[in-house]
Structure 1
Amino acid sequence: MAYQPPCTLTPEILNRVAAISETIGRLTVLTDQDRALRLRRVNRIRTIQGSLAIEGNTLSEAQITAILEGKRVMAPPREVLEVKNALAAYDRFDAWKPTTERDLLEAHRILMSGLVEEVGRYRHGGVGVMAGDQVIHMAPPADRVPHLMAELFAWLAATEVHPLIASSIFHYEFEFIHPFTDGNGRMGRLWQSLILARWSRLFAEIPVESLIFEHQREYYQAIEESTRQTDSAPFVAFMLRMILDALISFTPQVAPQVAPQVGELLAMIQGEMDRAALQSALGLADRKSFRERYLKPALADGLIEMTIPDKPNSRLQKYRLTDKGRQRLARHADG
């Protein structure tokens, strides 16, 4: 029987898939080719900086840009090599197929060349995921890795699950298996981006890793919680939130910048929705946080409105986008 990674498709996950798909639909292709190339370069640098920063690399976007331009950078040699390897790996991004195991091994060889001894091949020893001095996850034994990875690739090639969900499940399962001696985090993030880019080319440009770096603690907590539940749903929900926030802030802004939380709320609203439905769609448990960080700023900016404005505390109260809110979403999409 074919392997099926355990993942409960919660309303939170399905609502975020819908919101991301709608946001993707609103993002138009950039017609100015020079501008598109500049934007791609800027976002690729952000992607590399974010992904390596999660692993402890201290180089800034400016230093990575200098390395890309062939300039000398005063920094630890290992960190410079990590950047050069990442730049070389992302240059091959368009050539790799996400369902091909050979391409994954080649990506690891490029990404980790000169950094570890076992490059481009699965580990031969045991590994654990550490949080400080504490082991938070012991990966499966090395002799099981080839079989587990073959199962995972077979599932990815055959699954009919939406790519947004499938890419997040693959990312979690990859981190659980931890197939390499080192570089598992950056490889998992790279491969999720590759899977997504085959669904929509926009994902070759969007620096999701930068947002993951800003929410690094939540990233590891989501992995831990999924492992505890033996269900990747918590990690999938987290990744979809990062993807949605990255999409919302993707294009240069003509209008004043919308806070990511407000942008996420706007993208979630379908017709008229009450507070509970919105809070559930966003996956937020804290009512006060939702009100202060999402609802009140959106109302104050006139981006959403109440359906019963003269009774703000009515139990029948719902919220909908205003013309200004719809225009703001359109501006985000058009750049």
Structure 2
Amino acid sequence: MRPPEKLTPALQELLENVDAERDEFLSLGDFGEQVNERLRRAFLPDMISDTLNIEGVHVNPRITLAVLDGLALAEADKYVEVEVRNVIDAHSLVDTLVREGYSLTPDLIRQVNFQIEKEIIPSAGSFRSKDVQISGAQIKPPAFAYVEARVQEICDSFSAYDHHHPVVLAAWIHRELAEVHPFEDGNGRTARLIQDLVLASARFLPVGIPAFRRQEYYDALQTADFGDLEPLIAMIANSQLTALTKARRVAKDPGVRKAAISRLLQGRNQAATRAREREYELWRRRVEELVEETQVWAAELEREVEGARLMRVKLWDPLPLDAWQEIRDRGFIRNSWIATIFISEPASPGFSILLAAKRIDKITTLDLRDRYSEVALQVVVADGENRYDFHYADPYVTVRAICPSEGGFEVLASVPGPAGASKRVTATEAVEALLTGAALKAGWSS
């Protein structure tokens, strides 16, 4: 039997749809290891179960997956395990042939049958040595003496018919091998795998024959015996469409999911960025408020003592958002100074108070785990020309940190007990708390 040179319009349209679906699937590009494994697990268990169930070997995808994963089966399933493992090995052989290239020969067909029947029958991979009759078939296979020549003829014709659509060629060789029935057993599985070899070589998917279409499959083979190959072609084409649609979905799922997650995370990141920017703006305004209040106190002191500059305030460059964020992330950075307050008396070297931005957990030993990421102003005191010691606790200036917050400020003291607890205050009260200690240190009060 030759492959049909002319197809009905309906079948021709079906094959065009198959081509379009394949091209769309291939347009997704090369897949990574994860996607290839997903495709393998999406198709191989069903194909193995289907091809065995058609032959009366009762197996389900669960058992097939167990064998694929190397899991031990119950003793009652040991025969099935051999059948499943053999078909897995046969599929692996087909994959290798597709990947490395092949010429269709009787020896190759024998190799496929050997993989299917090894450890089951002694004649695995050998052409049959007796005549057979196929149950329910209208045509009798050739006598065993002619099998090898007939298989060689099929292989020679296959090369001559390569101008046909791959689905047509796959259906044709499937039917030819089924008719010849060249082996003692495993003929159907061998024919379906050679069919899939032809399909996969043309970058279609191996589809086998679905078990639920078993009767339709037998009917199509019987129709082909009378010269009409179109029902078998249509069955394989429809299976191809279904498989390609599923494969495209499986292949795209990780990308679609990744894109969706990316969109979700983008929204989350944007929301987090906006929240961070709002928090920074509030912090910056509070710091400006505190610094301005400190400058007001300095000016008022100067007026009260008739021009004596007891207190001077030096401002440093405002802390930008990225520096503030780095402090939140790392705890501290260099050059995070906000303001320096100089306190002096004409007859003394005086001292200075530095306000430097630092994450709150790097300043105080109080349990502030729920506010771990807050950026506060550390209060550091240096006498005269001494350098600032960020670990030094001055006995007079007991304020260790001023924390800008939505409701104002919190003042953290270094003394133990209740006095060391935080206290929410206004900017005026925060400066007063700071300068009260400074006044004691300067000897302005006792």
TM-score range, shorter chain: 0.5 to 0.7
- C-alpha distance in structure 1 between counterparts of 2:172 and 2:212, whole Å: 21
The CA deviation at 1:185 is: 0.7
> Is residue 124–residue 142 contact of structure 1 (8 Å, CA) maintained in 2?
yes
Match of 1:29 in 2: 29
Report the counterpart of residue 243 of structure 1 in structure 2.
Answer: 240
Equivalent pair of 1:122/1:180 in contact (CA under 8 Å): yes
Amino acid at match of 2:211: F
Q: Which has the higher helix share?
A: 1
Q: Distance in 2 between matches of 1:199 and 1:71?
A: 34
CA shift at 1:147, angstroms? 1.5
Matched to 1:11, the amino acid is P
Deviation at 1:141, TM superposition (A): 1.3
Query: 1:149 deviation in Å?
Result: 0.9
Shift of 1:175: 0.7
Query: TM (normalized to structure 1)?
Result: 0.67
In the TM superposition, residue 168 of structure 1 has moved relative to its aligned partner by 0.9
- For residues 99 and 162 of structure 1, the distance between their equivalents in structure 2, rounded to whole angstroms, comes to 17
Task: Please state whether the residue corresponding to 2:210 is helix, strand or coil.
Answer: helix
Give, in whole Å, the separation in 1 of the partners of 2:117 and 2:5: 30
Q: Are 1:187 and 2:190 an aligned pair?
A: yes
Are the counterparts in 1 of residues 45 and 64 from structure 2 also a CA contact under 8 Å?
yes
CA distance in 1, matches of 2:185, 2:168: 25
Distance 2:210 2:5 in 1: 21
The answer for unaligned runs of 5 or more in structure 2 is 254-446
Q: 1:243 to 1:62 in 2, by over 3 A?
A: same
Structure 1 residues not aligned, in runs of 5+: 256-335
CA distance 1:30–1:5, change in 2 (3 Å): closer
**Residues in 2 aligned to 1:95 and 1:51: alpha-carbon distance in whole angstroms:** 20
Match of 2:170 in 1: 167
Per the alignment, residue 96 of structure 2 pairs with 95
Of all paired residues, the percent bearing the same amino acid is: 25
- 1:217–1:8: structure 2 CA closer, same or farther, 3 Å change rule? farther
Gap change, CA 1:170 and 1:73, over 3 Å in 2? same
**Paired letter, 1:196:** L
> Match of 1:57?
57
Deviations 1:39-73 (A, max 9, x none): 22331222111111111222221211111222211
Distance 1:144 1:154 in 2: 15
* Mapped contact 2:167–2:236 kept (Cα < 8 A): no
How many angstroms apart in 2 are the aligned matches of 1:187 and 1:16? 26
Give me the whole-angstrom Cα distance separating, in 1, the residues matched to 2:248 and 2:96: 25
Which residue identity does 2:210 align to in structure 1?
I
1:148/1:112 CA distance change after superposition, 3 Å: same
Q: Given the alignment of the two structures, is residue 117 of structure 1 paired with residue 122 of structure 2, yes or no? A: yes
The alignment partner of 2:156 has SS state of helix
Counterpart AA for 2:79: R
Look up the match of 1:108.
Answer: 113
Q: Find the counterpart in structure 1 of residue 8 from structure 2.
A: 10
| Separation in 2, partners of 1:116, 1:137 | 26
Equivalent of 1:230, from 227, 238, 250?
227
Aligned counterpart, 1:217: 215
- Which gives a bigger RCO, structure 1 or 2 (Cα 8 Å, sep 6+)? 1
2:45 counterpart residue number: 45
1:278: which partner in 2? none
Letter of the structure 1 residue corresponding to residue 72 of structure 2: R
In structure 2, the residue matched to 1:288 is none
Distance of 2:132 and 2:5 partners within structure 1? 24
Q: Deviations over 1:12-36 (max 9, x none)?
A: 3322211100111111235443122
Distance (Å, rounded) in 2 between the aligned partners of 1:198 and 1:166: 12
